[in-house]
Amino acid sequence: MIAINGHVNARKPLDTPRTVTAVLADDPDLKFAVKSGETWWFHIVGFLTTVSATPDIKLAMNGPAITDLRYSMHIGEHTGAPGPYEEVKTAWLSEGTVNFVGAANDDFEIYGVLTASANGTVVLQWAQKTSSADASVVKRGSSLRAVRLN
């Protein structure tokens, strides 16, 4: 992660696989620190794979106490499904999930604005939607950009 003068850029250097867990957990790379009173714009572009339809994936954002939060979550179109998952969120840990009908090689995008009312870390959390020995993987090259607006 590179943080310079209110700009943060982070890129996953390696794939992060998850198996046998449906409990949301922090991504080790896609996160940034905020301080109370700061307003931030953030954008995550991610790539994911699954080897079967069983595990699927769920995503959420988490962070410190906030006075204002609005973000949009988009999980790309997936084979056999009626279309992409899209929703505007106004609270941390508001999950977005997707059900794949087979192996997936897909994308997701999350972008939004927040004003923090406490110091802490804003982080992408994710897990398998259904616990499985088949891995769900957020791929290397997935990235985050955040800009402090004040």
pLDDT, tens digit (0-9, with 9 covering 90-100), for 103-136: 678 888 999 999 999 999 999 999 988 888 989 8
DSSP state of 81: S
Give the pLDDT band (50/70/90) at residue 101. low
Give the pLDDT band (50/70/90) at residue 20. very high
> Per-residue pLDDT for 88 more than 90?
no
pLDDT given at position 61: 93
Question: Which residue would you say has higher pLDDT here, 136 or 146?
Answer: 146
Contact criterion met (CB below 8 Å) for 123 and 44: no
pLDDT, the chain, mean: 87
Question: Which residue would you say has higher pLDDT here, 126 or 51?
Answer: 126
Structure tokens at 108: 């997701």
Give the pLDDT band (50/70/90) at residue 29. very high
pLDDT given at position 38: 96
Contact criterion met (CB below 8 Å) for 124 and 144: yes
pLDDT given at position 90: 86
Residue type, 86: E
pTM across the whole model: 0.90
Contact criterion met (CB below 8 Å) for 44 and 109: yes
pLDDT given at position 77: 59
CATH of the domain at 9: 2.60.120
| Domain total of the chain | 1
Q: Please provide the DSSP assignment of 69-110 as one string.
A: EEEEEEE---TTSSS-EEEEE-STT--EEE--SS-EEEEEEE
| CA–CA distance, 23 with 65 (Å, rounded to integer) | 21
> Per-residue pLDDT for 78 more than 60?
no
> Per-residue pLDDT for 149 more than 90?
yes
| CA–CA distance, 9 with 42 (Å, rounded to integer) | 10
Q: Which residue range forms the structural domain that includes residue 78? A: 2-148
